[in-house]
C-alpha cells in the first residue's frame, strides 16, 4: 500500500515573538516560524503554518477542531 501526502497548513498556538519570527506550539512541539505574513501577530493566538510561514490567523475553536481531526487521521495509520 502506498500512502501519498499533500502539503498541509497546520494550526498551532503562537507562544513567543522575536522580531519577524515566532515560536509556535503544535501540541507541545515548538517550532520557529516566519511571521512576516501576519499583520500584528499576538502571543496566544492560533495561526495556520505552512512551509515554515504563519500564513493566517485561525479562531481557537476552529484550530482545536482541526487539530482533533488531524490527530484522528494520523492516529489511524
Residue 61 CA, distance from chain mean position:
14
Alpha helix (H) residue ranges in 1-77: 60-75
Q: Note the pLDDT tens digit of each residue in 4-53.
A: 666 778 999 999 999 999 999 998 899 999 999 999 999 999 999 999 99
Q: What span, in angstroms and rounded, lies between the C-alpha atoms of 66 and 25?
A: 15
For residue 37, the tally of other CB atoms under 10 A from its CB is 14
> First-to-last CA distance in the chain?
12
Fold of 10-75: SH3 type barrels. (2.30.30)
Exposure b/e, 24-35, CB count within 10 A at least 16 = b? beeeeeeeebeb
Please give the model's pTM, rounded to 2 decimal places. 0.84
Amino acid at each position: 500500500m502506498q500512502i501519498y501526502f499533500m502539503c498541509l497548513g497546520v494550526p498551532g498556538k503562537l507562544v513567543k515573538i522575536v522580531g519577524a519570527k515566532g515560536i509556535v506550539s503544535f501540541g507541545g512541539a515548538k517550532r520557529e516560524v516566519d511571521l512576516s505574513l501576519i499583520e500584528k501577530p499576538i502571543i496566544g493566538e492560533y495561526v495556520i503554518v505552512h512551509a515554515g510561514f504563519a500564513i493566517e490567523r485561525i479562531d481557537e475553536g476552529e484550530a482545536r477542531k482541526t487539530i482533533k481531526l488531524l490527530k484522528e487521521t494520523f492516529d489511524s495509520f
